[in-house]
């Protein structure tokens, strides 16, 4: 596994491997591990090339439904004032 030592966020050193960081973020977001660990499709980091997940293919209908849910979530999220959104970023 490749370990990054460069700053990805200004002022914050991140020695965590990209795959581990991706797992941590997805877990924090409540994404079930089976969604991104059990499939035949490899997801690779564009930064390091390391495999960060194994995705399961989904149908066009499932893709459309996911896109619609993401759009609805975005429309709600953008109503949250920027200072409040910033709190979520600083305090996971």
Burial 3-31 (b: 16+ CB within 10 A, else e): ebeeeeeeeeeeeebbbeebbeebeeeee
Q: What's the mean pLDDT in 13-31?
A: 82
Which single residue is written with the structure tokens 């370990």? 3
Structural domain boundaries in the chain:
1-57, 58-92
Of 34, 36, 41, the residue nearest 19 (C-alpha) = 36
pLDDT in tens, 34-91: 888 889 999 998 988 999 899 989 999 999 999 999 999 999 989 999 888 888 766 5
pLDDT at 26 over 80: yes
How far CA 62 is from CA of 6, 58, 66, in Å, comes to 37, 6, 6
Which residues are registered as beta bridge partners of 7?
Answer: 13
Give the pLDDT band of residue 4 (cuts 50, 70, 90): very low
User: Model's pTM, two decimal places?
Assistant: 0.53
**pLDDT at 18 (0 to 100):** 87
CB 24 within 8 A of CB 11: no
The tokens 């491997």 sit on which residue? 17
Confidence of residue 12 (pLDDT cuts 50, 70, 90): low
């Amino acid at each position: 596994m490749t370990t990054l030592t460069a700053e990805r966020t200004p002022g914050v050193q991140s020695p965590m491997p990209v795959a581990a960081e991706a797992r941590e973020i997805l877990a924090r977001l409540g994404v079930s591990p089976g969604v991104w660990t059990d499939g035949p499709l490899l997801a690779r980091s564009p930064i390091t090339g390391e495999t960060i997940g194994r995705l399961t293919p989904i149908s066009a209908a499932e893709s459309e439904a996911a896109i619609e849910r993401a759009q609805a979530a975005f429309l709600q999220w953008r109503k949250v004032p920027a200072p409040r959104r910033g709190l979520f970023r600083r305090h996971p």
